[in-house]
Amino acid sequence: MNITVLLKQVPDTTAKITISGGKVDENSVSKWSMSPYDEYALESGLQLKEKTGGNLVAITCGPERTKKMLTDAAAVGADTLVHISNDGVTDSTHVQKLLAAAVRRFDSQIVLCGKQAADTNSGSTGPGVAELIDAACVTLVTEVNYSEGKFSTIRPSNSGTEKVAVDGLSVFAFDKGTHELRRPNVRGIMMAKKKQVESITSGDLGVVLDSSNVTLNSQNPPPEKPAGQKFEGAEHVNEVVSKLRNEANVI
Amino acid sequence: MAYEALDFYDVDSLLTEEERMVRDMVRDWVDEEVIPNIEIACREGVFPDEWRVALGEMGVLGAPLKGYDCPGLSYTAYGVICRELERGDSGLRSFASVQGSLAMYPIWDFGSEEQKNHYLPKMASGEWIGCFGLTEPDYGSNPGDMITKAEDMGDHYLLNGAKMWITNGSIAELAVVWAKLDGVIRGFIVEKNDPGFSAPEMKGKHSLKASVTSELVFQDCKIPKDRMLPGVKGLRGPFSCLNNARYGISWGALGSAQACFDSAKDYAMSRIQFDHPIASYQLVQNKLSWMLREITKGQLLAYHLGQKKDSGDWIPEHISLAKMNNVDIALEIARVARDIHGANGILDEYPIMRHMANLESVKTYEGTHDIHNLIIGRHITGIQAFTREA
């Protein structure tokens, strides 16, 4: 069984972000990492592969630098590495089209991805790709299991968790999973070094990137936190209680 | 904030992709598992067993050794591993140095095929910890005059003597012990349950507190004949091990220095005195600039030495220079960093005082600073100055 995992490289969640000309300055990002929810998708894919056998295909769409993330995925066990050039890509519908075409090409029964990327947080990849490949889609899952041709998955519900079973081609978008993420090791790194990244373009996939109807106008850093306030003495009790109740909304 | 390693000349761009991946693996582990737990380990005076397991799982123990389930990485990668581990703590790097360079290496280079097959795979996986017994209470810089001796009793060897300052001693499954057999230094593998062998822990250290340091005591310690390392005689044996460990230290010390620089820079940027961050004052900038200068020089030294180790074109004096210089500057950087941190520098909220205290040991072990100067002095002049006798 081919298991496909869709991965995105994002600025590390601890990296400093700078805005230049109304856009995030990618050149100033000190560390790029695999998006955290994608890591859970990958981990789950690796565990499925260990149980069912098969080939784990890791696909990303992005600039050259994203190939490094695929090699990182290989170091923990990804078998086939596919890099789709993001030349001409202007919005997430383009990314979905390219990923969907790549998924079809590798004939996977199951596609795993993060519920949202840590940079854009739009959460559109899983449902978007599912729509294009005509697959079932379950979002916010924490676990995926396979038995007798069916996938079953755990996701949160209003009253706890629910178990959802799906037949056939399925896309699962991962929340923070229940499995501990594995670390690479030297042996994995040495194997990964030997694995080739297959580079393909929109042309290779036969995808036409038509004009986009989404424009990103500007990006802004979050507002700075206001300075803390300090109160001393019993005479401030009423004021503090009022602030906690009405401003901080904590009591 | 993510740790951004100071790399002013972008020396790490010279690493291979594999070496960079190994670096990132160890760096992430140190960030996630070591730094949050190191102060507790120091206060309790223990080397956390989870770290042994993790080092084995990552597959970094005995990094440059090939075959027998050893990692088979480059010496440069081994250096990078030491640097990343020592950014966490010198005690952690000491564990890895002793396991890889001082215990696994002599078995790998001088052991019999049976010894290699028996010990190395379990040592590479971290299942068995090794230690290295050379230094004695009265023989540190002068190991050639060691007292510990081995006697051939026909069907076994009998060891008598004592070793001191032995990293990993009390937690080790086996010790590579250097002792005189008929006046010639030979290597012996002693296992922890051998009769007549004990390894009491040395307590009360103000340095390398998260590392186990022990004495090794041999009182009519009886070991089978097949435990002697067949491949080496004389001081060449222990010195070959020390060359590799010292090489690792020359990288490791930079990890400590980088941790101190990182903390000092952050502190100076955020500490306000006289209405401005202290980083805006010339005296502080001078200190930070000096740190960057020395770290950058040390990085070039370590990298170039790594390339020489990998090509085989090196002499022990090259290693002496790098060990001596990089530990020396790391210790001085730790002291200056403590100064920049003011009183806060003595708290365990910051890594400074711990690195400083650790580096006092690192300056002394594996060839003291002064001994390395004498090694280089002999290289320059052809005149040995270790002893009065010619």
Interface contact flag, B17 A193, Cβ < 8 Å: yes
Unique residue bearing structure tokens 């090791």: A185
The span from the CA of A125 to the CA of A111, in Å, is 11
The span from the CA of B30 to the CA of B58, in Å, is 12
Contact B177, B133 (CB under 8 A): yes
Interface test mutation site (partner A, options B3, B25, B84, max chain A beta carbons within 10 A):
B25
Interface contact flag, A193 B18, Cβ < 8 Å: yes
Residue A53 inside a domain? The answer is: yes
Q: Which residues contact B286 (CB under 8 A, 6 or more apart)?
A: none
More confident residue, A107 or B257: B257
- Where are the domain boundaries for CATH 1.20.140.10 in chain B? 236-381
Q: Which residues contact B382 (CB under 8 A, 6 or more apart)?
A: none
Interface contact flag, A187 B59, Cβ < 8 Å: yes
Residues of A near B (Cβ–Cβ under 8 Å) read 12, 14-16, 30-31, 68, 71-72, 75, 183-187, 189-190, 192-193
Arithmetic mean of pLDDT, B64-89: 98
Enzyme catalytic residues of B: 366
Residue A196 inside a domain? The answer is: yes
> Is the per-residue pLDDT at B158 higher than 90?
yes
Helix axes of B75-88 and B90-97: crossing angle, nearest 10 degrees: 150
- Where are the domain boundaries for CATH 2.40.110.10 in chain B? 130-227
Expressed in angstroms, the distance from the first to the final Cα of chain A is: 53
Residue A237 inside a domain? The answer is: no
- How far is CA B168 from its chain centroid? 12
Residue A30 inside a domain? The answer is: yes
- Where are the domain boundaries for CATH 1.10.540.10 in chain B? 11-124
- What is the structure's pLDDT at A214? 81
Arithmetic mean of pLDDT, A42-58: 94
Residue A113 inside a domain? The answer is: yes
Element (H, E) at B158: strand B156-167
Alpha helices, H only, chain B: 17-29, 38-44, 49-58, 75-88, 90-97, 105-110, 113-124, 236-270, 282-311, 316-340, 352-364, 369-381
- Distance from B59 to chain A by nearest Cα, in Å? 5
The upper half-sphere exposure of residue A77, i.e. CA atoms within 13 Å in the direction of its Cβ, equals: 21
Tokens of A17: 């972000």
Element (H, E) at A39: helix A36-52
Predicted confidence (pLDDT) per residue in B2-44, tens digit? 688 999 999 999 999 999 999 999 999 999 999 999 999 999 9
Interface contact flag, A183 B72, Cβ < 8 Å: no
φ, ψ of residue B372 in degrees (nearest 5): -65, -35
Residue A28 inside a domain? The answer is: yes
B274 DSSP assignment: T
Q: What is the residue range of A22's domain?
A: 2-205
Q: What CATH number should be reported for the domain holding residue A92?
A: 3.40.50.620
Contact B318, B308 (CB under 8 A): yes
The correct answer on CATH 1.10.3720.10 for the domain covering B11-124 is no
Residue A173 inside a domain? The answer is: yes
- What is the structure's pLDDT at B1? 59
The residues facing B277 across adjacent strands are B272
B130-227 homologous superfamily? Butyryl-CoA Dehydrogenase, subunit A, domain 2 (2.40.110.10)
**Chain A residues close to B59, C-beta within 8 Å:** 185-187
Unique residue bearing structure tokens 């559109």: A124
Q: By C-alpha distance, which of A76, A102, A110, A79 is closest to A3?
A: A110
- Give the chain A residue whose CA is nearest to the CA of B55: A185
- Distance from A15 to chain B by nearest Cα, in Å? 6
The span from the CA of B248 to the CA of B36, in Å, is 24
- What is the structure's pLDDT at A155? 93
Interface contact flag, B57 A185, Cβ < 8 Å: yes
B59 DSSP assignment: T
ipTM of the complex: 0.89
**What architecture does CATH give domain B236-381?**
Up-down Bundle (1.20)
- What is the structure's pLDDT at B2? 67
Which of B1, B21, B54 is the closest to A14 by Cβ? B1
The total of structural domains in chain A comes to 1
Predicted confidence (pLDDT) per residue in B110-157, tens digit? 999 999 999 999 999 999 999 999 999 999 999 999 999 999 999 999
